[in-house]
Amino acid sequence: MISDIQEKYSQLNQAQKDIFAGYGLRQVKHFVEISLPNIEPSLPAHAHVQGINQEGKVQAVNDLTKQTYLWISDLQWQERPIATKNVDLKEDFLVVWKIFNLQAYDLIDLSHIHRDFLQGQLA
- For residues 64 and 99, what is the distance between their CA atoms, to the nearest angstrom? 32
pLDDT for residue 73? 75
Place 74 in a pLDDT band, splitting at 50, 70 and 90: confident
What pLDDT, on a 0 to 100 scale, did the predictor assign at position 8?
96
Q: Residue 123's pLDDT is what?
A: 58
Tell me 44's DSSP state: P
CA separation for the pair 85, 57 (Å, rounded): 13
Dihedral angle over CA of 16, 20, 26, 29, nearest 10: 10
**What confidence tens digit (pLDDT) does each residue in 7-21 have?**
999 999 999 999 999
Question: Could you tell me which of 35, 56, 50 has the C-alpha nearest to residue 84?
Answer: 50
Average pLDDT on 74-101 reads: 91
Q: Is the whole-model pTM more than 0.75?
A: yes
CA-CA distances (angstroms) from residue 119 to 23, 52, 102, 116, 122? 15, 25, 21, 5, 5
**Cβ-count burial 55-90 (b if 16+ within 10 Å, e if not):** eeebbbbbeeeebbbbbeeeeebeeeebeeeebbeb
- Write the single-letter amino acid at 56: G
